[in-house]
Structures are given as structure tokens and as C-alpha cells.
Amino acid sequence: MATVLNARLNQVVGVAGEPRSFFFNGRLLSAEDLTREQAARDDAERRLARLMGCGVAEGLTVSRGTGSVLRIAAGLGVTPSGAVIAIGNLDLDLSSAGRGASFSGFGGCAASLAEGQPLAGVYLLTLTPAWSGQGRAPTLLGEVGACNRRTQQPAVRARLVEVQAPTGLGVASVRNELAVALLSPGQGLATVPEGSRVGWWMRQRIGSSAAAPGLSADELPLALLQINASAEPLWIDTDSARRRLSPPPGGTGDAMWPQSWAVEMQAFAAQLLAELQGGAKPGAFVWLPPTLPLTPAQLALLHAAVPAVPMYVDEVLNRARFARALIEGWEDQPVRSAEASFYLAQLEGHPERLLLRAAVLDNRRAAAPARLGERTSPKVASAAARILAAGRRGGERGPGKDELAVAASALTQAPDKKKR
């Protein structure tokens, strides 16, 4: 809408929004008049929904069914455009795709949109709101053709959007690399050019040589999955694709990105734990989230997959310090497991509640991931890191338990890293 110049007090000034019909006795109503009313109502509802952000509010989990069938649980979500998607339990057969109108944003996905069976590959599963015509309405003009519908029922359309998997990687690490690519590693708190993002998603997500086409504002991503030539899922990741309902990056509710970045790092942590529980093999995790709340059983599984992850607790923290370490950790970026220094804390009185923090090793000096309490000098922190590294390597001449305990205590009080 054009800028209004020289507006005066008490002057009625037009603003953006769908117009509505004006009713008065004696007016002849047309289908266009009533459709305009529906559009005005829908626009108001979408604007209200966008105030809450976009993503999945509840449910909508995706699980494997029999053969090529996916099961989408009942739930509620909001698309970036503000459309509310609410469905009951849905069984979706991937073995065939009906022909439908192509939506903007899917120009590169002809294989998944065409009539027939989707090709083997990696896809994003999304839901798009739609309407389904029900019944036939009586008319004064007799039969009026295919547009005659008594009602329109809210509906959804499931889509598979092709994702380019990273090249030159082992099968074991593909899921981990894709999760990192889709969760914006390296973006940090940097700004993104205006118009380059649709809700949570960049118009073109690229990272680690992986890419996913930009989605339209009416798309709600639910899962990332790989299917074979029979359209049977080989694996399903929900956390790398979906986001919980929150203001997306760069929005007015998250102008500096800390909240949305934390949501994405929480999703990465959940994705890694889900993959771990599914029997991840050694070498599967090239990347690790900056902080990872987990149980002793999950720690043992992670240690088997990433031997560098320690099995001993560096420090027992009270509830306030444990929570602070967790919150601060969500603000950091993913770390390559081969380049990481680790810190393991336990919640006081709860041995089943552990917190693994990861930081990048730089010239054999490690900044303590937890950054709690008083700060140790960089020189002492560097020495403590070397002692802990020697302890992990083991051997007859390695440091004793007392030395390791002192080094761990010093390392947890190392200087703060530089602010981004």
C-alpha cells in the first residue's frame, strides 16, 4: 500500500488488509461478495496466527507404518503464512502420488509432484492447507458445472520435496550432515538479507554440500526421510525438519535471533538422540550440538559412537547453574566431533540428569564450554586442557585422579570466549 502523506488527526486512513463487503437492505449479493467476506475473515485469522510464530504446536509426529505407509499423528501447526493446520491421525501411502496443481516454490520438484510413484531419494515431508468440495448445491440456473459445491471442507495436501544429500560421505553420517545443513550451522547471530527467509526456512538451504529447495509460505515441514525404489522409508528424522511453534528468525518476536537459534539447536540435540537410540554406528556423528542433555544410558551409546566423549562427570551443579549452562549452551554453534573439547556435568541429586557441552579446540587450548563461576587465566586453562586430554588417552604415565579432578575444576572456570 502506498505511503499516505500529510495525514491529519481524526482522518480515516486506509491500511493493508483484505476489504470486506458492505451490506444494506435491497443489495443484490453475488458469489464474489460472499467470497470477499471469507477472504477477509481468513486474512484476519492468519494475521492473528502469525503473532504466535510458525511451526508445530502439538502432535504431527511422523512414524513408520507398514511398507510404504507413513503415519502422521493428530496435531496442530501454523504455516509461515499464518494458515492453521489441524488434522486427525493420517496414514499416508508414499507408493503413489496424485496429480495436483503445482504451487510456487516447487519448480525443482517435478519428480515428486508428478502423477505416479516418487523416485528413491531424500525428501522433506510437508503439509499444505487445502479445501475439499463436498456435495452439490441447489441453484436457480440448473446445472452449473464442476464448480458447484455445497460446502468446502478444510483439508491438507501432503508433499515430498526433494533434498540434495551431501556427496562423498558414508551412509552412516548422511543423516547427521543433513540435520546440520537444515539447522543453519554457521549462521550464528548474523542477519539474513530481507526476503531470503520463509518462516524458519531459508529460500535455499545450503550447507555441507547439501541443499533443500525453498518452501512456499503455506508449507509446514514435518519430517526428513529417505525412501527406496519401492517408496519404503529407510529412515525418518522429524527433529531436523520440524520446529516447535515460536517466532522464526529475524521476526519482530526474535529480532536478535537468540530464541530461534536455541530452538534449532534444541531440535538438533533431539535429532541426534533419536538417531542414537535407533542404533547409530561409529562415525555417524561428524557434528555434535553445542549442548546435549542426556541420561547415563544415552551417554554410553554416544561414547560408543564418538569415543572422544568422556564417561566421567567433571562437576556436579546445583539446579540454577545446571539451567544456566544449558541455556548458554543453546546459544552456541554445532561443533565437529573430531575438533571438540568436552565437559560433562551432573544435576545435583539427580545422577540420571547429565549435560554434555562441546567447544572447539584451538591450538590445543580449550575454552570451557560451561563458563561458570570465577574465571581461570588462559594459561592455566590451557594446561588443564592438556592434562584432561592426556587422561583420556590413558597409559601408565597418565595423570592421576587428583590431577584430573583439579584440571577439570580449573577448566570449568576458564575465561569466556569472545562474543560473536
**Per residue in 288-342, pLDDT tens?**
999 999 999 999 999 999 988 888 898 999 999 999 999 888 888 898 888 888 9
Residue 369 scores a pLDDT above 50:
no
* Contact criterion met (CB below 8 Å) for 415 and 377: yes
Environment class of residue 379 by beta-carbon count within 10 Å: exposed (0-12), middle (13-18) or buried (19+)?
Answer: exposed
- Domain end among 240, 272, 304: 272
**Co-location of 262 and 343 in the same domain:** no
What tens digit of pLDDT does each residue of 243-257 get? Answer: 999 888 766 666 655
Of 238, 272, 306, at which residue does a domain stop?
272
Which of 224-238, 275-289, 294-308, 368-382 is predicted with the least confidence, judged by mean pLDDT?
368-382
Same domain, 294 and 162: no
Question: Which one-letter amino acid corresponds to residue 372?
Answer: L
H or E element at residue 263: helix 258-277
Would residue 37 count as lying in a domain? no
Residues 204 and 127 in one domain: yes
Structural domain span for residue 295: 290-411
Q: 325 versus 195: which is more confidently predicted?
A: 325
The pLDDT of residue 149:
72
In this prediction the pTM is: 0.73
Task: With respect to residue 320, please indicate whether it lies within any of the assigned structural domains.
Answer: yes
Q: What is the mean pLDDT of residues 355-375?
A: 56
302-309: long-range pairs with CB below 8 Å, 24+: 302/276, 302/356, 305/276, 305/280, 305/281, 306/282, 306/337, 307/282, 308/337, 308/338, 308/340, 308/342, 308/392, 309/337, 309/342, 309/356
How far apart CA 10 and CA 79 sit, in angstroms, is 37
**Whether 71 contacts 94, CB under 8 Å:** no
Give the residues across from 359 on adjacent strands.
341
Domain boundary among 272, 307, 325: 272
Domain assignment present for residue 42? The answer is no
Mean pLDDT of 119-147: 78
Verify that 73 and 210 share a domain, yes or no: yes
Please compute the mean of the pLDDT values over residues 354-369 and round it to a whole number. 64
Residue 223 is predicted with a pLDDT of 94
Distance CA(412)–CA(369), nearest Å, equals 7
**Residues 345, 246 share a domain:** no
Number of H helices and number of E strands within the chain?
8, 21
Instruction: Please state, rounded to an integer, the average pLDDT across all residues of the chain.
Output: 77
Q: Which three cell numbers stand for residue 287?
A: 557434528
| DSSP code for 414 | P
What phi and psi values does residue 275 have, to the nearest 5 degrees?
Answer: -65, -35
Q: Which region among 154-168, 205-219, 307-321, 345-359 has the lowest average model confidence (pLDDT)?
A: 205-219
Choose the weakest-confidence range: 20-34, 360-374, 389-403. Answer: 360-374
**Helix/strand/coil for 362:** strand
Residue 371 has what pLDDT? 41
Question: Is residue 111 in some structural domain?
Answer: no
Whether residue 39 lies inside any domain: the answer is no
70 and 162 both lie in a single domain: yes
State whether 212 and 306 are in the same domain: no
pLDDT at 378 over 60: no
Lowest mean pLDDT among 126-130, 131-135, 386-390: 386-390
**Do residues 192 and 171 touch, judged by C-beta distance below 8 A?**
no
Tell me the pLDDT band of 100, cut-offs 50, 70 and 90.
very low
Q: Are residues 128 and 75 in the same domain?
A: yes
Is position 226 within any domain?
Answer: yes
Q: How many domains does the chain have?
A: 2
pLDDT: which is higher, 76 or 27: 76
Task: Give yes or no: residues 160 and 83 share one domain.
Answer: yes
Q: Identify whether residues 268 and 295 lie together within a single domain.
A: no
Q: Which residues contact 295 (CB under 8 A, 6 or more apart)?
A: 352, 353, 354
Cα–Cα distance measured from residue 391 to residue 382, given in angstroms and rounded to the nearest whole number: 14
In a domain, 34, yes or no: no
The β-bridge relationship of strands 220-227 and 210-213 is unpaired
pLDDT of residue 362: 53
With CA atoms as reference, report the closest residue to 370 among 302, 407, 324: 324
Alpha-carbon separation of residue 40 from 25, 119, 126, 147 (angstroms): 21, 40, 26, 22
CB 233 within 8 Å of CB 240: no
- Percent of the chain, pLDDT > 90? 27
Q: Between 258-277 and 296-305, two packed helices, what is the crossing angle to 10 degrees?
A: 80
Q: Is residue 313 domain-resident? A: yes
The CA–CA distances, whole Å, from 398 to 71, 227, 309, 402 equal 52, 48, 18, 12
Cell numbers given for 130: 487445502
Residue 370 pLDDT class (50, 70, 90 cuts): very low
Whether pLDDT at 409 is above 70: no
| Share above pLDDT 70 across residues of the chain, in percent, rounded to a whole number | 70
pLDDT higher than 60, residue 259: yes
Are residues 325 and 380 both part of a single domain? yes
Residues 6+ apart with CB under 8 A from 335: 287, 288, 290, 358, 359, 360
Strands of 241-312 (E only): list them.
Answer: 287-288, 291-294
pLDDT higher than threshold 80 for residue 403: no
Same domain, 71 and 214: yes
Q: Which residues of 196-232 are buried (b: 16+ CB within 10 A; e: fewer)?
A: ebbbbbbeebebbebbbbbbbbbbbbbbbbbbeeebb
